Amino acid sequence: MNNLDPTKMKDWEIAEAAEADMKTVYQLAEELEIDKMELLPYGHYVGKLDYHTILERLKDRPDGKYIEVTAITPTPLGEGKTTTTMGLVQGLGCLGKKVTGAIRQPSGGPTFNIKGSAAGGGLAQCIPLSELSLGLTGDIDAITNSHNLAMVALTSRLQHEYNYNDAVLAKKNLKRLNINPKGMTMGWAIDFCAQALRNVHIGIGGKMDGFMMKSGFQITVSSEVMAILAVSTSLADMRQRIAKIVVSHDTSGKPITAGDLEVDGAMTAFMHKAINPNLMQSLEGQPVLVHAGPFANIAIGQSSIIADQLGLKLGDYHVTESGFGADIGFEKFWNLKCRFSKLVPHCSVIVSTVRALKMHGGGPTVVPGKPLDSAYTDENTELVEKGVENLLAHIDIVKKSGIAPVVCINHFYTDTDAEVAVIKKLVEAAGARAVVSKHWEKGGEGATDLAQAVIDACEEKHSFKFLYEEEAPLRTKVDLIAREVYGADGVEYLPEAREAAERIEADPELQKLGCCMVKTHLSLSHDPGRKGRPKGWTLPIRGILVYRGAGFIVPIAGDIKVMPGTCSDPAFRRIDVDVETGKVKGLF
């Protein structure tokens, strides 16, 4: 590691160099005291873990300390949550702690688009990079297939119901479901940023080509099947949840589920291996569990409950990652994931960068794919001080859960001592710890101060509490999130959304479900252009989805798409394979 310089090497070059000396998956399993038959190897350096067998064997072992990693409102480039998660895991390892990490599997959308692979960066990464970035063990493919099988079941049944009378359907052993072609709640899934597929027409052709109607695609990681993978606690739990997925409605407005279509068993069959978390490692050889997917702005965006359950049994410290800022990722970790898992965190780390604080303080617009303005690389304490307002908002959010946050100043070599001093002074005045961490540049050695601060925070007493009661009306839950988390003055509903909320609140079963907001990650508000800590605004809810299987209602705030778009200069232009060695190059 000493000869790897992130200021002179690209992330994929660092990963490739480190992979020459990485541990085999068998060594990782042996260090974790995992039995031979509990490891399901996929080659020499990646494997899955038989979660059920391991958890049953270790059910009497005490859990380790539970640490969550979140961030401030990021720039479009991201502020290094995965990098910090890996750095913290490595830092705890440097202090001699038995540690495990859990991160989300990268989506093909950002990997081949703007943001890159989400493997971390510099000397704080998860490896092997190519395997992580290019499909891993097939979990996302399984989700895509499971999701799309539900749509195949629905559209084929609709065609048969349209073409045949009840007598013919009875001979085919089919019950008429009276599917409403305009009542679809699902579309199709693909794991790319494909804006051309947001709105499509299907069934074009003749009688045997399906029922012609409008449809569309969402990115796979926003699928309810992905959400179910994240929150399931067992294969039986997953099977029950998949059966409850609402695929469409009948002509009277009654939900039609995957169970009604008799496709739930087959959908679960696609997922029966995906439920086992993937075992990988940090650049410094600590075990990392990779499971479930990203995009907390349009999905739950959490590493899985099962991965966390395993990590807490296998390590004395377990570090798990949530998507985007505390307003989105941490809020869903706090009020959804922890409620489902019944696990209580000991500490939350809020990742901040000088770059992002300058943007929130009024710095120039950050445009993906274009060089940063000199304002972000030259010293400017005034911009930093103004931008700290955003960081203080995220500190307040975490404090409302009863947890004491630790602020990680994810250090870049262009940051100055004066800029860092401004952040530390204001954070400490707000009653929180602020620690500079140089894991990007120095790996675990550069994160030992952060690791020690987290260890200290884990020993403190805290009183964890949810933001809202499970039985609270939906609009009460939304209002609490809008006011207490986002800082809004209130909530307004478009007529369609208000009607949906009223129907949900009148249904005792739906009323108990959690609230999984869809909102931009680029602002505390619904408007990505409003930086800092916006004041004097109202949160608009334009639609509401019901994820009955996952166990939550999904209000959609502002103008946000569940299918992102690909930019004009996507990452795939720079990804290739060395035909002599077979190694992938250009991932970042």
Active site residues: 81, 83, 104, 115, 296, 324, 412, 440
Residues 6+ apart with CB under 8 A from 364: 373, 375, 376
Question: CA 307, 297, 111 angle in degrees (round to 5)?
Answer: 70
Q: Residue 470: count other Cβ atoms within 10 Å of its Cβ.
A: 12
User: 515 by DSSP, 3-state: which?
Assistant: strand
User: 49 by DSSP, 3-state: which?
Assistant: strand
Q: Which helix (H) or strand (E) holds 214?
A: strand 213-215
Q: Which two tokens stand for residue 139?
A: 């979990």
Give 126-181 as a DSSP string.
EE-HHHHHTTTTSHHHHHHHHHHHHHHHHHHHHHHHHHS-HHHHHHTT-----B-T
- CB 515, CB 478: distance < 8 Å: yes
List C-alpha distances in Å: 324 to 42, 227, 331, 361, 467: 30, 16, 10, 19, 19
Question: CA 223, 295, 566 angle in degrees (round to 5)?
Answer: 90
- The C-alpha torsion from 392 through 395 and 401 to 403, rounded to 10°, is -150
Give 430-456 as a DSSP string.
TT-EEEEE-HHHHGGGGGHHHHHHHHH
Q: Which helix (H) or strand (E) holds 360?
A: helix 354-360
In the Cβ-directed half-sphere of 331, how many Cα atoms lie within 13 Å? Answer: 32
Q: Residue 78: count other Cβ atoms within 10 Å of its Cβ.
A: 22
Long-range contacts of residues 194-198, Cβ cutoff 8 Å, at least 24 apart: 194/219, 194/563, 194/565, 194/566, 195/561, 195/563, 195/564, 195/565, 195/566, 197/563, 198/561, 198/563
Q: Which residues pair with 69 in a beta bridge?
A: 321, 349
For residue 131, report the phi and psi dihedrals to the nearest 5 degrees. Answer: -60, -45
Q: Which two tokens stand for residue 353?
A: 């960068």
